Amino acid sequence: MGKDRKFTIYELIEILDAAMGKTLGEVDVNHVFDRTIEHPKITGIAGDVVEQSVLGFPADSKAEPDIDVDGQLIEVKTTGIRQSKTEKDVFEAKEPVSVTAVSPNTIVTETFYESRFWHKIRKMLFVYYEYASDTTVSAAEYADFFLRGYDIYEFSTYDKRILKADWELVQKFLIYLRSQPDFEDIEYARLSHELRDKLMYIDTAPKWPNPPRFRLKRSLVTAIVQEHFRKHPLEKVIEEISDISSLDCLCHKMTTKYKGKTVEFLANEFGIPFVVNEKGKVNKSITEKIVVRMFGAESSKINSLDIFRKAGIYGKTIILSNKGGRTEDTKLFTINFAEWQDRDVLFEDSQIYEYFANNKLLCIEFKETEHGDLLKSEFVGFKRLSFDDNFINTYAKYIWDTVRKTIFDGNLRESICYKKDGQPIINPCGTIKTEINFPKSSDEMKLFLRGTGQDSTYKTLNLCGIQMYQQQVWIKGLDIVELLKEKEYL
């Protein structure tokens, strides 16, 4: 490694501190942005600026970590962050972090701690820039983005075990493929989907025949970002989890202990206060608080638990009717429309694809014993739901294609909602109720869009000149019940 890549920790901190709060354009002393004149769509420009103009070493494609700090090799990852659409003053990762190639001929003979993957992630320098745009920008426009922080990061012993288990799953799968008598390279295409529901912290992309790479999931990078900015302290679960199987075992243990217990019994068992309103109902959030207590934590949200946030496992409490049907639709995630308005973004590179391909739902089922009485509903158990290629390419792609076509064709419309007698519907705060011509729950598809806000005056999203609520992707209640019927209880 050349001298231009060697730093003392004090030198590195001094260099990075001087760059923070400045734009990428302001720190670009070596004129890296000049390349965007002839190549306006060049990728990786932010990382090139940090490496070549801030840290001052030339670009290369070597498999070894980027810099030496007091004799320790460190990989540099310039990472885009953006403001959350659902939480004020909270950053999230813009995308997964690519690490290194998945080399089928090499990985089969490696051990984890000798692997290229581990050497790349053993110690990392994350340099964060804020992607402060609701639309996709050209490479040159990255010059206006501010550097917001940096983090010399090492994974905990707990996280190392999960990363090791993930890597070994990939290794074993590749060894298995190559051991088949009729093996051909085309079989590597199975890597991207057959391990999807088993990997916790990493994924592989793109799909074969493109050379796949190991990536840190966006959910993991978001947890690292939020840990750095101290916005989301995460709680540990009651037992350490090293892989999907150990999570399943913990869920099974809790089901054995609490199955058939009512919401009221469990709330009292865990010391969770609740208030019955004048209509004899309690807040629906009580079920989520109960499940969090089952995992040995004190938070009110399942996704405040360390393992869930990092692994992209979204806890969803499902209330089944006494006949086994779902009582409500389920909200999945808030859309960031920047890429949805970019004609060059492929579906396989989109937020909606990444959500359904790399995240999982841990569905916690309660069943009503008396219609509408949540307190008397009984805990049934856990089911884990991942989405297969057929679901993604049918329903998620339909949403992606339909919304983009509506935007690109200039057909996005807002219309007034009317009563049966022809009078406009008036919201409680006095405004006229309107709707956007996005896919709706009444359409014959499993997924749809719905906007949410504090009230009808709180429309914070401006899309094609129309002020609207932030938009979320939802799955129909009856359809999620049908998907879950195919799954065994954990």
pLDDT 10s digits, 424-447: 888 877 788 888 999 998 888 899
Task: For CA atoms 387, 393, 394, 398, give the dihedral sign.
Answer: positive
The mean pLDDT of 251-280, rounded to a whole number, is: 90
In this predicted structure, what is the pLDDT of residue 327? 64
Say yes or no to pLDDT of 265 above 70: yes
What is the mean predicted confidence (pLDDT) over 63-75?
Answer: 89
How far apart CA 46 and CA 78 sit, in angstroms, is 7
Q: What is the mean pLDDT of the chain?
A: 90
Listed in sequence order, the residues at least 6 apart from 295 whose beta carbon sits closer than 8 Å to its beta carbon are 237, 238, 250, 254, 302, 305
User: When comparing pLDDT for 337 and 395, which is higher?
Assistant: 395
Distance CA 148, CA 242 (A): 32
Does 124 score more than 60 pLDDT?
yes
Task: Specify the DSSP class assigned to residue 52.
Answer: I
Mean pLDDT in residue range 351-363: 91
In this prediction, residues 376-405 reach a mean pLDDT of 94
Determine whether 260 is exposed, middle or buried from the number of CB atoms within 10 Å of its CB (0-12, 13-18, 19+).
exposed
Using the structure block, give the residue that is written with the tokens 């550097």. Answer: 147
Residue with tokens 């109960």: 290
Range 93-117 average pLDDT: 93
Helices (H), 53-114: 104-107
Average pLDDT over residues 460-488: 90
Equal fold, 3-228 vs 244-485:
yes
Banded pLDDT at 1 (limits 50, 70, 90): low
| Domain residue limits, the chain | 3-228, 244-485
Helix, strand, coil percentages for the chain (3-state, nearest 5): 35, 20, 40
**At 470, which helix (H) or strand (E)?**
strand 470-475
pLDDT range class, residue 211, cuts 50, 70, 90: confident
Residue 325: predicted pLDDT? 65
CA dihedral 274, 276, 280, 281 (to 10 degrees): -40
Which pLDDT belongs to residue 461?
87
- Comparing 5-19, 317-331, 342-356, 357-371, the range with the smallest average pLDDT is 317-331
- Residue 86's pLDDT band, with cuts at 50, 70 and 90, is confident
User: CA geometry: angle at 463 spanning 459 and 465, to 5°?
Assistant: 95
Residue 10 in this model has a pLDDT that exceeds 60: yes
Q: Tell me: pLDDT of 198 over 80.
A: yes
Q: What are phi and psi of 319, to 5 degrees?
A: -100, 115
pLDDT(315) > 80: yes
CATH architecture of 3-228: 3-Layer(aba) Sandwich (3.40)
- The set of residues, in sequence order, having a beta carbon less than 8 Å from that of 197 and lying 6+ positions away, is 244, 360, 384, 386
DSSP lists the bridge partners of residue 262 as: 378
The confidence score (pLDDT) of residue 19 equals: 97
CB 118 within 8 A of CB 110: no
For the ranges 14-23, 361-370, 447-456, the maximum mean pLDDT occurs at 14-23
Q: What is the spatial distance between Cα 478 and Cα 52, in angstroms, rounded to a whole number? A: 54
Q: Report the b/e string of 302-334 with b at 16+ CB within 10 A.
A: bbbbbbbbbbbbbbbbbbbeeeeebbebbebbb
> What size, in residues, is the chain?
490
What's the rounded Cα separation, in Å, for the pair 60 and 72? 19
* Domain 244-485 sits in CATH 3.40.50.20: no
Residue closest to 383 by CA, chosen among 302, 487, 479: 487
Structure confidence by residue, pLDDT tens digits, 412-424? 999 988 888 888 8
Q: What is the mean pLDDT of residues 207-220?
A: 87
Weakest mean pLDDT among 118-122, 323-327, 366-370, 447-451: 323-327
* Pairing label, strands 470-475, 330-334: antiparallel
Strands 447-452 and 461-463 turn out to be unpaired
Q: Which two tokens stand for residue 357?
A: 């391909």
Question: pLDDT digit string (tens) for 137-168?
Answer: 899 999 999 999 999 999 999 999 999 999 99
Q: How many CA atoms lie within 13 A of 179 on its CB side?
A: 7
Phi, psi of 226 (to 5 degrees): -70, -30
Give the residue-averaged pLDDT of 119-134: 94
- DSSP annotation of 136: -
Q: Which residue has the higher pLDDT, 457 or 183?
A: 183
Pairing of strands 360-367, 378-385: antiparallel
Note the pLDDT of residue 431.
81
pLDDT band at 17; cut points 50, 70, 90: very high
pLDDT at 217 over 90: yes
C-alpha dist (Å) from residue 133 to 94, 145, 359, 471: 11, 9, 25, 17
pTM exceeds cut of 0.75: yes
Q: Name the 3-class secondary structure at 430.
A: coil
Whether the CB-CB separation of 433 and 424 falls below 8 Å is answered with yes
Q: Residue 326: pLDDT above 70?
A: no
How large a percentage of the chain has pLDDT more than 70? 97
Q: Which pLDDT band, with edges at 50, 70 and 90, does 395 fall under?
A: very high
Q: Rounded to an integer, what distance in angstroms lies between the CA atom of residue 303 and that of residue 316?
A: 10
The Cα 321–Cα 328 span in angstroms is: 10
What pLDDT is recorded for position 403?
95
Q: How confident is the model at residue 233, as a pLDDT?
A: 72
Mean local confidence (pLDDT), 267-288: 86
